[in-house]
Amino acid sequence: MSQNRKLIAVDLDNTVFTPNTYETFHNLSALYLAKEAGIHVCACTGRPWYNARHFFALFPFDELCVTSNGAAIVETYTGRQREVHCLDPQNLPQLLEYLSTLKELSNPVRVSTNEHFAVWNPQLQERMVEERGDWLFGQYPGRTIYYRERKDWIEAVREEAQRILLAFSDITQEDLGEISQRLCAIMPVEATISFHTMVEVMAPGCTKGRALSRLAEMLGVEQKNVMAIGDNINDVSMVEWAGTGVCVREGQEALKRVADLIVPEMRLGGLKATIEYFIEV
């Protein structure tokens, strides 16, 4: 590994791309400084590739990215999977049956593969319905397939399920944490929290931190030369693993507690100041 190579791994939602257009522009400008300095800049997102590719058109990220909360390392602009760890196809039917019975859920269980979301909806008139969307914020963009029959839903994703999304409403972070811990205790899975109201379920050991360590190895970058930037609890593992872990100013307190740096206010340089520091060290 080269002692001179550096890598910045960035979460996408509410880290680089925010509802504030000016802030997003400022963040992208800061990342361009890193690219100009010869630093690898890779996306490290909870989204599956198909659901994240809109962002990849807005910045020249490196050729590899981490998707589905660490379940996959994917070629950024083609979607070709270099490494993937799917949920166990033998345990998946039992897992989905259990998750579908959770009383706290506010929306149906959503399963994501590299290419689409799959949802069971027994109220459908047709056997299968496909919907597409292409917006950047709000509900998940991309491709969603709804199945009327549970068995069709399970068979469609059995071999390719990278992540399961559980959406809740009127719930505290403590309750989400308890649900995550409960799932990990009764099922062989990895669970984390995102977007303040969601629990995401992956195969055991699938975290952004584990995937980032593999990505750094593939790029020939030492751990001490990696910066990871995030905002939410699903970013904790990568922020802890990186040589320099960063939390954005509006990030979750749990992430701030493990971060080495907190991105300063915009008037004090924001992400640009953080990137400049990393370039110089």
CATH number of the structural domain spanning residue 146: 3.30.1240.10
Q: Is residue 2 part of a domain?
A: no
- The pLDDT value recorded for residue 142 is 79
* Confidence band of 141 (pLDDT split at 50, 70, 90): low
Q: Are 193 and 272 in the same domain?
A: no
Q: Judge contact between 259 and 245, C-beta under 8 A.
A: yes
**Is pLDDT of 140 > 80?**
no
* 46-75: average pLDDT: 95
Last residue of a domain, one of 148, 181, 202: 202
Per-residue DSSP letter, 105: B
Both tokens of 71, joined, read: 């379940």
Q: Is residue 1 part of a domain?
A: no
Both tokens of 103, joined, read: 């009383």
Q: Are 145 and 177 in the same domain?
A: yes
- The pLDDT value recorded for residue 36 is 96
**Is pLDDT of 48 > 70?**
yes
Number of alpha carbons in the 13 Å side-chain half-sphere of residue 136: 15
* Confidence band of 143 (pLDDT split at 50, 70, 90): confident
* CA dist., res. 167 & res. 79, Å (int): 26
pTM of the model: 0.93
* Closest residue by Cα to residue 44 from 177, 237, 176: 237
- The pLDDT value recorded for residue 95 is 94
Question: Taking all residues of the chain, what is their mean pLDDT, rounded to a whole number?
Answer: 92
**Is pLDDT of 139 > 80?**
no
- The pLDDT value recorded for residue 218 is 97
Percent of the chain with pLDDT over 90: 81
CATH number at residue 56: 3.40.50.1000
Q: Are 98 and 116 in the same domain?
A: yes
**Is pLDDT of 44 > 50?**
yes
* 17-30: average pLDDT: 92
Last residue of a domain, one of 202, 235, 251: 202
The total of other beta-carbon atoms located within 10 Å of residue 186's CB is 10
Biggest CA–CA distance in the chain, Å, is 60
Last residue of a domain, one of 202, 222, 248: 202
- The pLDDT value recorded for residue 215 is 98
Q: Which of 14-18, 42-46, 261-265 has the highest mean pLDDT?
A: 42-46
- The pLDDT value recorded for residue 137 is 46
Report the domain count for the chain. 2
Q: Are 97 and 197 in the same domain?
A: yes
**Is pLDDT of 2 > 80?**
no
Percent of the chain with pLDDT over 70: 96
* CA dist., res. 145 & res. 136, Å (int): 19
* 162-176: average pLDDT: 91
Q: Are 197 and 131 in the same domain?
A: yes
* 166-177: average pLDDT: 89
**Is pLDDT of 135 > 90?**
no
SS3 93: helix
Q: Look up the domain containing 141 and give its range.
A: 92-202
- The pLDDT value recorded for residue 54 is 86
- The pLDDT value recorded for residue 3 is 64
